[in-house]
A and B are shown apart, each in its own frame.
Chain A
Amino acid sequence: MEQTKYLVVGSSHAALEAVTAIRMHDATGSLTLLTRDPHLPYSPTVLPYVVSGRSAPEGIFLRDEKFFADNHVALKRGTALKALHADRNAAELADGSEIAYEKILLATGASPAIPPIPGIDTVSYHVLRTLDDATKLNAAIKQSKQAVVMGAGLVGMHAAENLVKAGAKVTIVEMAKQLTDGYFDAVAASLIEKAFTDNGATILTGSRVVKLAPSAVGATLTLENGTTLEADLLLVATGVKPNMEYLAGSPVEHDRGILVSDTMQTSVANVWSAGDCAQAKGFFTDGKVMNAILPDATEQGRIAGMAMAGDPGLKHYPGGVPLNAYHFFGRHAISVGSSKVPDGAEVVTRFDENSGRYLKAIFKDGCLLGIYGVNEFFDGGVMCQLILRRVDLSAVKDRFVANPLAVGRELMSKLWR
């Protein structure tokens, strides 16, 4: 049986950061990276840009073969993890082979969650999670005249924008009452919505698809209110679910995702998890949350790698802080921190209709909890530090809200010292 000291499953941000962290401390221990994807590592986040044609598929890879060779990493592509036999430290692969490991990292990410809508298995639809999905969608967009996007999260919105720009008539169907729910608040969402509708898209929020059936152009969608939509291109972007089917029968505890400690360790010794499949401590809550965003995946991956390698520099995970940046029709929206407004919190907003600049900040006890902006640029990384460090902003609050860019920089440049 093949043996390896470190087995990293997955090949996106969390997995790659873990590899780097392991190699920082252990330059020689055998390390295998296993991924079901046939390609070199890439980020799911870049895929909308592959769809739009902005990113060339061959230019998106985060590492090349040389990186793995230089770092003495055995890269096994196109092979999924089928079952984890934690009792005997073995990973069973889809091809039936097994790899014995000393330590394993489960950074298997997530897959599109397909809603159980009647008839969905009778129609042809797109999802967007892999490079192959993206190249297929890229080809389909060019042919599309009337497209429907189910789900108004960032993936769906990106794809919808691309379809609009490609000339299709686009309808976005979202169950929630607003676009980008969970990322941006209602005001920001309305600004985003306006950008889309100004460009010819149709937004149907608070709408649910109840039936799908094949049609002459492609598919017919029936909404809850009885309306029907014809789609020659249907994109299902209603969310993701962690990839953890391989845990069936294993003692690794999981809930909505794989439950991990502050050092990304699962309930089983020698098994770690990070990234979109992990359910870890939240910064704003006591419980464990899914925080499937890119910056958090890198942070978790690094912590997991350090823990696996026994790096004494290991620091505990501070808890996930939501961080999002979204670019749409030449505008941008940034969200950092909690979108919830707890008791006793103060919300400060400002909005300039002419410029479309919108800012919202949530404070509690003088500390920043969250900050949102549309067309208002500030340094998301600096804001995140102000939140994580619970910096008291009472004395500068007004200035801060007026100019979060300058005041944020001013504060951080002092905090470094």
Chain B
Amino acid sequence: MTTATLATPNQAKPAKQKVILCEGNEAAALGVALARPDMVAVYPITPQSSLVEHVAKLIADGRMDADIVDAEGEHSVLSVLQGAALAGARTYTATCGPGLAFMFEPYFRTSGMRLPIVMSIVTRDGITPQSVWGGHQDAMTVREVGWVQVYCETVQEVLDTTIMAFKIAEHHDVMLPVNVCLDGNYLSYGTSRVELPDQAEVDAFMGVKDVNWHVALDPLRPMAVDPLTGGSGGKGPSTFVRYRKGQCRGMQNSLRVIEEVHEEWAQRFGRRFAPLVEEYRMDGADYAIMTLGSMTGAAKDAIDEARDAGKRVGLIKIKTFSPFPVEALLKSLAKVQALGVVDRSVGFRWNCGPMYQETMGVLYRLGRHVPSMSFIGGLAGADITVGHFHRVIEATEKLPSSPAPSEPVWLNEKD
């Protein structure tokens, strides 16, 4: 895998960082421990299971001071955390696929109550057909529910982003739940060299915990949480609208906060990740391919090879998928004449990848026609190889001169 760090020179690295070797699920667990949540609720599900096992072990070993609730299902997992958050707790869980689907009822409500819960989605494809393998279908399915969703590319980014996610979620201008998405199989089980930040440094980075200043279930400041609103009379409709508008404002604020937090992280820990949109070899690129998550490593290798072969192609990677980083993406898209978008899930309604569909909205705002096409790969654990990306690059390269296909290209269809 190619490193995801940008070309910007690193800051002087803090000396205390330990280097370890671990899988993505363990990295997430270590990140959670460093962020010091008060409560973790868990329910195991493939491929998330080793993550919560790591968390449980960290707590059992006294390396993490948190209450752990082995709930009887994901629905209760998130419900327990909602209660804890309303009582002032920093909270964490992880799930995926069917677990996320089962969780949907409290999941929707978490963002409405503006609870800064952090939840990893160890992404898994949707069933049926039956599958226990990776894919973005679960996270993509709930992209319109008001959670901030960020996708990691590497194991190190999983660890660092997990910590940053708490700070983003709890920022007073945001107060929204955050999903840290790490690709099932590829990141969850992929073992990699990881630099482990120092606890004291992380504590300094996190600052003071203050998660229920806005809404609380606390006898010291009694309030009714979530009384009935809406309807068509009195203050009902306007109350509901104010809430919804506030959620949307929080989502938009998060774009700025995500950038600020990533910048602070880079300053403190010397690792700089593109917060919203990463450009790779976009200097002088006539066209680009777009990626999300761990596939980006192979994609970057393919770009390097294509550049070596003289192709004027670059790469745009989305890290923050929700809220969709429209302005940042506009800047990158402004540079290209054609675009190929690779999704790891499907959008049933538009017969294309969901990220492609979202990107078309941004392309419209560009004010000029950019030929583009949708590629769907890596479903149900399938690998998107450098070879697949060369096919993507080739097809995209031809776009300005040939009509775009009406169907997406299914990369693993003939594997």
Tell me, yes or no, whether A and B come into direct contact in the complex with CB atoms closer than 8 A.
no
Spell out A's residues near B (CB within 8 Å). Answer: none
